[in-house]
């Protein structure tokens, strides 16, 4: 019996040490989760450049931030933003890639005669855009998605009828335009 007594305080010491380590890890995990939660629910302001050379701004509706038309081909660049002002992100599973995948899936399922495919990425200041091409005989739309926190940006390049083939000709300008976009974090909590 005597030899077991010195072992008990050692067991309690090891148990206490393990408990302290678990508490420290738990506090660190909570701090990281809280920082990530703030990033997931952040809002951003979209800064965008003037239209590319040869494009002009045209009137648009209230849900559109900008609408530019190529003078010769009538191809359009259309931009919009969607934001949720909340302390939490209601759809954290809908990031840039998931949104692009969902658009492709919905196009293939619900739009007979349309093709849909990913076209690569474009990096901008504060965002990475995923490009998705959807097309059919008389219309081509290339949409660039970027999701950051509670802010979703959609910028598209589109051409219809006899100008469908002109969309490909304007892709370099579109990519350059996207790379000039800037997302800046903002505080919308006082709204």
The pLDDT score that the predictor gives to residue 17 is 60
**In this structure, what token pair is assigned to residue 157?**
């390049």
CA dihedral of residues 116, 117, 120, 123 (deg, nearest 10)? 30
pLDDT at 31: 45
CATH for 43-186 (3.40.1000.10, 3.40.50.300, 3.30.450.90, 3.40.640.10) = 3.40.1000.10
pLDDT at 43: 80
Q: Please tell me the predicted confidence (pLDDT) of residue 42.
A: 84
Find the helix or strand (DSSP H, E) in which 176 lies: helix 171-179
- The dihedrals phi and psi of 131, each to the nearest 5 degrees, come to -100, 135
CA proximity to 167, closest of 154, 178, 158: 158
State residue 34's pLDDT score.
46
Gap between the Cα atoms of 81 and 65, Å rounded: 7
pLDDT at residue number 35: 44
- pLDDT average per 10 residues of sequence, the chain (191 residues): 54 58 54 50 84 90 91 90 80 87 95 95 94 95 92 93 90 95 81 58
> What is the DSSP-derived secondary structure letter of residue 94?
-
Stated pTM of the model: 0.76
**Ranges of each domain in the chain:** 1-40, 43-186
């Amino acid at each position: 019996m005597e030899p077991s007594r010195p072992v008990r305080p050692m067991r309690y010491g090891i148990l206490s040490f393990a408990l302290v380590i678990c508490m420290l890890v738990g506090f660190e995990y909570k701090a990281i989760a809280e920082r990530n939660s703030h990033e997931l629910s952040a809002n951003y302001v979209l800064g965008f450049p003037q239209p590319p050379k040869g494009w002009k701004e045209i009137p648009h509706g209230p849900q559109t931030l900008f609408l530019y038309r190529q003078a010769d081909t009538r191809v359009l660049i259309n931009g919009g933003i969607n934001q949720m002002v909340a302390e939490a992100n209601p759809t954290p599973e809908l990031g840039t890639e998931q949104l692009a995948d969902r658009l492709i899936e919905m196009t293939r399922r619900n739009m007979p005669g349309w093709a849909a495919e990913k076209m690569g990425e474009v990096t901008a200041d504060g965002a990475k855009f995923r490009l998705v091409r959807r097309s059919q005989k008389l219309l081509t739309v290339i949409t660039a998605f970027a999701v950051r926190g509670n802010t979703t940006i959609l910028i598209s390049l589109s051409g219809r009828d006899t100008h469908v083939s002109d969309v490909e000709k304007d892709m370099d300008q579109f990519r350059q335009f996207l790379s000039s976009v800037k997302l800046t974090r903002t505080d919308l909590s006082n709204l």
